[in-house]
Structure 1
Amino acid sequence: MNKIQNHIKIFTITALCSGTFFSCAQKPLHHSGEAKTVTTTEKIPVNLPWSQRMLLSEMKRFPEAWMLDYNKTPKWSYPTAIVLEGAERLFEQTGNQEYYQYISTFGETMVKEDGTILSYDLSKYNIDMLNCGNVLLYLFQKEKKEKYLKALQTLRSQIDGQPRTSEGGFWHKQIYPNQMWLDGLYMGEPFYAHYTSIFSKGADAEKAYNDIVNQFDLIQKHLLDKKTGLLYHAWDESREQQWADKKTGLSPNFWSRAMGWYGMAMVDVLDYLPQNHPGRTRILAYLKSYCDAVIKVQDQETGLWYQVLDKGGEKGNYLEATGSSMFVYTMKKAVNKKYLPKSYDAYAKKGYNGIIKHLITVDENGMVNLNRCCAVAGLGGNPYRSGTYEYYINEEIRSNDPKGTGPFILASLEFEK
């Protein structure tokens, strides 16, 4: 299939944005959404590193951090946390108070004085809700506010009550019984490990770290395709879902962002897992196998990755921004931390350059846009999501999705080291 398709879908990015369409002079995009120009009085300097340019663009597009996922009202949602992790690192690096204020205001808005978190419902046992806890761990260490501690204890209590598979794997949500999704590893484990590193000691900490490593062990056991080294999006232990293979319980496709979440989960959990924990060597082996598999499906021409990873040449498939940003972050961080040999750097660099060349546009005010992001994809639910190839390629595509801009900021920071 010709990668350049005639039909280009354009999705506007929000009412915040106005002005004229800014096109990329590079290779034409296919199956794509491009961003609209944002009219703003202050230009974003083009001589800043990409990490800061993207964060400042996000802060202009979404003046309050809770808006980051195109939310209309304050909402506790995981994509916010990824952009704010970039803001944390940039604040530590630059001392720019504007970055800190962006994080701090989010905490102030989302957590009431009694520790209640706006829009969060513990009884749903939705593992996605844990990821934003990382923002509160950061703010609690900085500001020592009692309300953040209470909120963190509530989130930690979700882990104790989270329903599990027969081998102790976390269900993705209460409404998705018996299911482990790749996404869930990123949503739950870095927070669980980060919290444990701060608040748990002795046998409690050991038990928690063992539990965290077990989640990765179960993913490798049940979701890995031994032939390609890629991992399927999800697994249903009960084999009851329409999307689940009746023999294996697996969903039918390798979705780029699900694999991206899993890679980020591994490199981020290693930040907190003790050096002497026996599970470290296993996670490092999983990480190498994962990166080897990801490299094999990297598009040779652009350095990017397709929405459905192993079906690059099929009709309707497209080079997608969120997964590509996550793969680049995972690999570059793994090289920087010496989890992987230096030889992997070339693949990370090729991917990063591909993002900048083919997926980034900059408007006349210096606003940086990340185009061709899959807005959302999942399995089951209502209306029912089947996990077919057609399903993944037909989900909405938009610009400046935080599930892409956040990993792009984090990847940029790894390259800027």
Structure 2
Amino acid sequence: MHLTKNLPIPNFAAIAGAVCLALTSLPGFAADHFTDWPEGFSPKLVGTRATDRFIAKLKARAESGKKGEIRYPEVINWYGALTFAKANGLEDRAKALIEAADPLFKEETHVMPPPNHVDRNVLGSLAAEIFLQSGSQRALEIAKNYADIQWLPTGEIISKGAAEAGKPQGGLSWRFDEDAKKYMEQGLTWQTRFWIDDMYMITMAQGQVFRATGDRKYIDRAAKEMVAYLDKLQEPNGLFYHAPDVPFFWGRGIGWMAAGMAELLTSLPEDNPDRARILEGYRKLMATLKDTQGKDGMWRQLVDDPKSWPETSCTGMFTFAMVTGVKKGWLDADVYGPVARNAWIALAGYVHGNGDICEVCVGTDKKNSREYYLKRPRVFGDMHGQAALLWSATALSR
């Protein structure tokens, strides 16, 4: 069975789901859940296609002369491609990805976003990964700046000339309101807003600098922030609303939490006082995800609604988080291994031969409307989905 760009994706996904269910029913299969993939479904094959697709997009961007700001979907895709290349020993791809970032890090222009919002500061996680793989001191300097400014008192930010209070930059403003001051008094970042998306963006900006420097303050900040979000946003069933005023279990939103916790726990020292609380929240979420996975191996646009459509970015994020937990020993391999395997095979069924994945929910603001989430457009090759696919392939390759 091969992935081809001419094969109708919905039918192929159904076949993939049937294959994974049949395979996991074989006697003794639980001994090893993440090897012996059906032909065309190996993480290295699928991930290499997605990596090459991203490199092609970066090349096209460079050739177009586009100077627009680097956005977070591109950042997280870049990070996913780099970690995948490292996990699979693809030195040529890693080199191409690092070289493509060189002009970005040399130009302090509108291409590099101002560090005034969680979606912009996550660029630091990519810079840290480039340092880890290349030793670039310039990349490390950029990563530390994006992480440090998240915890600077507002007065220091202003004195550094980063921005004037409340002055818009690129459509977003520096937030120096009473809420920001309150959060800083609690030891949190002034960028706190209690949207679940933040628990990937903030924790990655901080956690990656810890990985790059070994300085505990970064990972300790990230853990403290994660606990605040868990305490405020996790529901008794283990899931998360998009925000306190938006009571819907949106798939990709919960995926940000799942991936953020998995990344954080991977590096969080055992003696960190917040580790047990984060691990508890992670396991609680994984248990509910196990029970809400569709028979086709996918998760839905609204996780608790089996009639909503199968969505690939959340499925990729959940797969990454669950595979990581099984491999790290946080989850029972015999219980969660088959769930994660089914999810990968189903997810890979949505990938075309050129490396693009389909059925990705478009970028989504929060809105207190169930129909808003159910009717979000589904797109092809969107980097939210491409990134999650690469994260999963990376976790399976490690």
TM-score using structure 2 length = 0.76
Select 1:96's aligned residue among 90, 93, 99: 90
CA-CA distance at 1:272 after TM superposition: 2.2
CA RMSD of aligned residues (A): 3.0
**What is the alpha-carbon distance in structure 1 between the residues aligned to residue 322 and residue 248 of structure 2?**
22
Does 1:53 find its partner at 2:49?
yes
Select 2:239's aligned residue among 217, 230, 237: 230
Q: CA deviation digits over 1:368-416, x for unaligned, max 9?
A: 331100111112xxxxxx2311111222211111211122122123334
Select 1:133's aligned residue among 102, 110, 124: 124
Instruction: Identify the structure with bigger relative contact order (alpha carbons < 8 Å, sequence gap 6+).
Output: 2
- Is the CA contact (8 Å cut-off) linking 2:203 and 2:226 kept in structure 1? no
Select 2:9's aligned residue among 24, 28, 50: 24
Select 1:211's aligned residue among 203, 218, 221: 221
Structure 2 residue identity aligned to 1:99: R
**What is the alpha-carbon distance in structure 2 between the residues aligned to residue 284 and residue 65 of structure 1?**
40
- Is the CA contact (8 Å cut-off) linking 1:256 and 1:323 kept in structure 2? yes
- Is the CA contact (8 Å cut-off) linking 2:84 and 2:390 kept in structure 1? no
**What is the alpha-carbon distance in structure 1 between the residues aligned to residue 397 and residue 213 of structure 2?**
32
The percentage of counterpart residues that share the same residue type is 19
Q: CA deviation digits over 1:162-193, x for unaligned, max 9?
A: 73654444465xxxxx7211110100112202
- Is the CA contact (8 Å cut-off) linking 1:304 and 1:351 kept in structure 2? yes
Aligned to 2:204: 190
Aligned to 1:311: 305
Aligned to 1:156: 147
- Is the CA contact (8 Å cut-off) linking 2:311 and 2:361 kept in structure 1? yes
CA-CA distance at 1:288 after TM superposition: 0.6
Aligned residues: 339
Please give the residue correspondences for 1:283-322 in structure 2 after superposition, counting only pairs within 5 Å: 283-299=278-294, 301-313=295-307, 317-322=308-313
Structure 2 residue identity aligned to 1:60: A
Per mean C-alpha deviation after superposition, the further-off stretch among 341-350 and 272-281 is 272-281
Select 1:253's aligned residue among 248, 271, 275: 248
More helix by share: 2
Aligned to 2:78: 84
Alpha-carbon distance change, 324 to 91 in structure 1, aligned in 2, over 3 angstroms: closer
CA-CA distance at 1:142 after TM superposition: 4.3
**What is the alpha-carbon distance in structure 2 between the residues aligned to residue 218 and residue 193 of structure 1?**
16
Select 1:337's aligned residue among 322, 328, 337: 328
- Is the CA contact (8 Å cut-off) linking 1:183 and 1:262 kept in structure 2? yes
Alpha-carbon distance change, 46 to 61 in structure 1, aligned in 2, over 3 angstroms: farther
**What is the alpha-carbon distance in structure 1 between the residues aligned to residue 340 and residue 13 of structure 2?**
23
CA-CA distance at 1:223 after TM superposition: 0.9
**What is the alpha-carbon distance in structure 1 between the residues aligned to residue 137 and residue 109 of structure 2?**
11
Aligned to 2:396: 415
- Is the CA contact (8 Å cut-off) linking 2:50 and 2:386 kept in structure 1? yes
**What is the alpha-carbon distance in structure 1 between the residues aligned to residue 275 and residue 128 of structure 2?**
23
State the secondary structure of the residue aligned to 1:26.
helix
Aligned to 2:274: 279
Structure 1 residue identity aligned to 2:388: P
Q: CA deviation digits over 1:42-77, x for unaligned, max 9?
A: xxx99862211221233334435789xx99544322
Alpha-carbon distance change, 152 to 64 in structure 1, aligned in 2, over 3 angstroms: farther
**What is the alpha-carbon distance in structure 2 between the residues aligned to residue 97 and residue 210 of structure 1?**
32
Per mean C-alpha deviation after superposition, the further-off stretch among 137-146 and 182-191 is 137-146
Gaps of 5+ in 2: 15-39, 153-174
**What is the alpha-carbon distance in structure 1 between the residues aligned to residue 301 and residue 181 of structure 2?**
29
Aligned to 2:347: 355
**What is the alpha-carbon distance in structure 1 between the residues aligned to residue 70 and residue 11 of structure 2?**
37
State the secondary structure of the residue aligned to 1:370.
coil
Does 1:396 find its partner at 2:390?
no
**What is the alpha-carbon distance in structure 2 between the residues aligned to residue 143 and residue 53 of structure 1?**
23
Alpha-carbon distance change, 307 to 334 in structure 1, aligned in 2, over 3 angstroms: same
**What is the alpha-carbon distance in structure 2 between the residues aligned to residue 306 and residue 25 of structure 1?**
15
Alpha-carbon distance change, 71 to 286 in structure 1, aligned in 2, over 3 angstroms: farther
State the secondary structure of the residue aligned to 1:360.
coil
Structure 2 residue identity aligned to 1:410: W
**What is the alpha-carbon distance in structure 1 between the residues aligned to residue 143 and residue 13 of structure 2?**
46
TM-score using structure 1 length = 0.73
Structure 2 residue identity aligned to 1:180: F
**What is the alpha-carbon distance in structure 2 between the residues aligned to residue 376 and residue 370 of structure 1?**
15
